[in-house]
């Protein structure tokens, strides 16, 4: 596994809220709130190396040099439906001028391969080297969906180094597969769990993130 670009957010608030969302008795309302608290920490880490440019601003007292995000870059938030939507809510708060491009896919439970059903990405990008991509999915399990989503952008000439994959929890198997395929992307996660089970679910994990977020867990 190429671990150079894997960033684990080791923060007490991350650990605390991860414990909340792992608990099977946590209600959907509390589950969503805890994920949102973690998401702020994940996004601060995922965006800490964004380029800045210097400008001059007029304060109430005088002019001064200040810095803003480089205006030549377009930030694209790409949540993988449906569970990634909860990430995009926070992303819109932190980066309100970013472009949101939804990606729709679900996993075939027998083959564990992703099946596409929605794609809001242009056929090609102008100036792809100036696109900064934040792909959002709470779970990086087998890595199959992550690889398909990343390839969607690299096929449009977006450099790997401009892509960040943001997840709540990740499996070693998925991380190895993704980093072997795309060694230059940045992966930001709150936890690397133990392994996948025979059904491709992360252990110990937290169950199906989408079902728990949207309260569709079978009783």
Q: Is residue 1 part of a domain?
A: no
Question: pLDDT-based confidence at 163, cuts 50/70/90?
Answer: very high
Residue 107 known to be catalytic:
yes
Q: Is residue 60 part of a domain?
A: yes
Q: Is residue 218 part of a domain?
A: no
pLDDT tens digit string along 100-149? 998 888 777 777 787 887 787 887 889 999 999 999 998 999 999 999 99
Residue 89 known to be catalytic:
no
Catalytic residue among 111, 151, 203, 216: 111
Question: pLDDT-based confidence at 38, cuts 50/70/90?
Answer: very high
What is residue 170's predicted lDDT score, i.e. its pLDDT?
95
Whether the Cβ atoms of residue 188 and residue 166 lie closer than 8 Å to each other? yes
Range of the domain at 76: 6-213
Mean model confidence pLDDT for the chain = 90
Total structural domains within the chain: 1
* Rg value, the chain, Cα: 18
What is residue 1's predicted lDDT score, i.e. its pLDDT?
59
Rounded Cα distance between 106 and 116, Å, is 7
Residue 49 known to be catalytic:
no
Residue 111 known to be catalytic:
yes
DSSP labels for 59-84? -SS-EEEEEEE-TT-EEEEEEEETTT
pLDDT tens digit string along 166-177? 999 999 999 999
Q: Is residue 161 part of a domain?
A: yes
Q: What's 196's domain CATH number? A: 3.40.50.2020
What is residue 109's predicted lDDT score, i.e. its pLDDT?
73
Rounded Cα distance between 167 and 71, Å, is 27
């Amino acid at each position: 596994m190429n671990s150079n670009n894997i960033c684990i957010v080791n923060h007490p608030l991350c650990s605390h809220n991860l414990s909340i969302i792992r608990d099977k008795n946590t209600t959907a309302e509390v589950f969503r709130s805890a994920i949102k608290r973690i998401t702020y920490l994940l996004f601060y880490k995922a965006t800490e190396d964004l380029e800045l440019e210097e400008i001059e601003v007029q304060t109430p007292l005088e002019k001064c040099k200040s810095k803003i995000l480089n205006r030549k870059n377009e930030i694209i938030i790409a949540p993988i439906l449906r569970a990634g939507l909860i990430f995009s809510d926070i992303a819109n708060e932190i980066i309100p001028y970013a472009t949101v491009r939804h990606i729709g896919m679900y996993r075939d439970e027998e083959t564990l391969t992703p099946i596409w059903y929605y794609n809001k990405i242009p056929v090609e990008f102008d100036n792809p080297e100036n696109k900064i991509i934040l792909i959002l999915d709470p779970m990086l399990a087998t890595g199959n969906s992550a690889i398909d989503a990343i390839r969607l952008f690299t096929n449009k000439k977006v450099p790997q180094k401009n892509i960040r994959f943001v997840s709540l929890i990740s499996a070693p198997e998925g991380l190895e597969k993704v980093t072997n395929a795309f060694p230059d992307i940045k992966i930001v996660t709150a936890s690397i769990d133990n392994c996948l089970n025979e059904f491709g679910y992360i252990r110990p994990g937290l169950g199906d993130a989408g079902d728990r977020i949207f309260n569709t867990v079978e009783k």
